[in-house]
């Protein structure tokens, strides 16, 4: 018997090439990958995907009412909610700046001979 994740993965991949609409086709790869990651994270979600609606219907729901753009986060939220009502998607983004390289410690005295003229 296959796991819920394997069933969900098969269902998403089977529906992948059946996507119609240019907006849906533009988003399908990223949305599928995000859904697969959610399925890896949560077996109950994987079960919902395996037993839920088709991936083309999911992508139609994601693209519904979209104008000229949609953030990735909103697309993933809509897709997750299609399969599991009330699912929440969070995103964390951070930046780390490494301090500038510190010059090595100087030993001894550094003289500028032009100071003596």
The pLDDT of residue 73 is 94
Structure tokens, 70: 């949609």
Residue 95: pLDDT band with limits 50, 70, 90: confident
The pLDDT of residue 36 is 97
Residue 101 has pLDDT above 70, yes or no: no
- pLDDT tens for 52-94 read 999 999 999 999 998 888 999 999 999 999 999 989 998 888 8
Alpha carbon distance 83, 74 (integer Å): 15
pTM over 0.85: no
Domain ranges of the chain: 4-83
3-state helix, strand, coil in the chain (%, to 5): 55, 0, 45
- pLDDT tens for 10-56 read 999 999 999 999 999 999 999 999 999 999 999 999 999 999 999 99
Alpha carbon distance 35, 54 (integer Å): 13
The pLDDT of residue 110 is 64
Alpha carbon distance 10, 109 (integer Å): 71
């Amino acid at each position: 018997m296959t796991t819920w994740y394997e069933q969900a993965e098969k269902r998403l991949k089977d529906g992948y090439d059946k996507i119609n609409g240019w907006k849906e086709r533009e988003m399908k790869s990223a949305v599928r990958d995000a859904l697969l990651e959610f399925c890896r994270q949560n077996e109950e979600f994987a079960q919902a995907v395996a037993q839920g609606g088709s991936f083309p219907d999911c992508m139609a729901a994601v693209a519904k009412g979209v104008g000229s753009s949609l953030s990735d986060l909103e697309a993933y939220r809509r897709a997750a909610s299609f399969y599991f009502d009330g699912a929440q998607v969070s995103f964390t983004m951070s930046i780390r700046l490494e301090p500038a390289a510190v010059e090595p410690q100087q030993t001894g005295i550094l003289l500028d001979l032009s100071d003596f003229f």
